[in-house]
């Protein structure tokens, strides 16, 4: 099923066998779309509803969730706006489809905007599996003079799985460590793993993510 929310996101929704359970929110990398991660999501979470969103920003024809100035140099002002917009979309989609708070699975650009939501919009996500993510903000997640969003009530802790590639040329060790620090400072329970890979996904990612997602989606 495809549709567009009032925040103008194109997305794909697939009901799960356990519709009352947590959905898996799928956030693609640069150049992807709402179809890219659906097979992976269904493999890792066979019973969960799937909500897969298409990024609205175009970079040389490639879809992204927010702008950047160069590789590794993010447009943080745009990221703040886009993260809030996506969080608002999630609330709309939850109402439309009768969904619980989702757990995100994001890759690269999709993982970065999921991390930004964890930092800026507590309660938008119940957790997130972040593959090849970097720290979304060089400083605070909030712009000068901007008030932090109050945390929404949660039935349990917000968890994040951060899986990095040991040979990833796009994510520096400093950015990875800053991401872990920022998430922990925001009260997120973080599990960090490193696999022998570059920026692309490998089987080891799936071996780690499968059991973690099974637990996170039950929480």
92-117 pLDDT per residue, tens: 999 999 999 999 999 999 999 999 99
The predicted model gives 120-140 an average pLDDT of: 96
**Catalytic site residue 108?**
yes
17: pLDDT confidence band, cut at 50, 70 and 90?
Answer: confident
**Catalytic site residue 88?**
no
Q: Considering 33, 78, 88, 199, which one is annotated as catalytic?
A: 199
Q: Considering 52, 101, 108, 164, which one is annotated as catalytic?
A: 108
- Residue 165: what pLDDT? 98
- Residue 66: what pLDDT? 97
Predicted confidence (pLDDT) per residue in 58-80, tens digit: 999 999 999 999 999 999 999 99
Domains of the chain: 2-218 (3.40.50.1820)
Q: Considering 36, 168, 182, 205, which one is annotated as catalytic?
A: 168
40: pLDDT confidence band, cut at 50, 70 and 90?
Answer: very high
Residue 137 structure tokens? 């903000």
**Catalytic site residue 168?**
yes
Helices in the chain by DSSP H: which ranges? 38-44, 76-97, 109-120, 173-185, 203-218
Q: Collect all residues with Cβ–Cβ distance below 8 Å to 89 and sequence separation of at least 6.
A: 5, 7, 9, 11, 53
The predicted model gives 149-156 an average pLDDT of: 61
Among 172, 28, 217, 179, smallest CA distance to 111 is for: 28
């Amino acid at each position: 099923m495809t549709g567009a929310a009032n925040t103008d996101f194109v997305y794909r929704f697939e009901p799960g066998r356990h519709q009352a359970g947590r959905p898996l929110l799928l956030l693609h990398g640069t150049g992807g779309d709402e179809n890219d991660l659906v097979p992976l999501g269904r493999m890792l979470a066979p019973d969960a509803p799937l909500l897969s969103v298409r990024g609205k920003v175009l970079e040389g024809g490639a879809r992204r969730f927010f702008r950047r100035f160069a590789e590794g140099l993010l447009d943080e002002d745009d990221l703040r706006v886009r993260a809030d917009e996506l969080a608002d979309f999630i609330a709309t989609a939850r109402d439309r489809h009768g969904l619980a708070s989702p757990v995100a699975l994001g890759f690269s650009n999709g993982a970065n905007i999921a991390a930004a939501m964890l930092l800026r919009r507590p309660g938008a996500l119940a957790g997130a599996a972040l593959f090849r993510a970097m720290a979304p903000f060089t400083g605070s997640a909030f712009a000068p003079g901007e008030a932090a969003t109050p945390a929404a009530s949660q039935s349990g802790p917000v968890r994040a799985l951060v899986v990095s590639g040991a040979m990833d040329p796009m994510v520096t060790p400093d950015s990875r460590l800053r991401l872990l620090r920022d998430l922990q400072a925001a009260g997120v329970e973080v599990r960090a793993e490193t696999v022998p890979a570059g920026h692309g996904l490998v089987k080891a990612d799936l071996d780690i993510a499968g059991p973690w997602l099974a637990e996170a989606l039950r929480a």
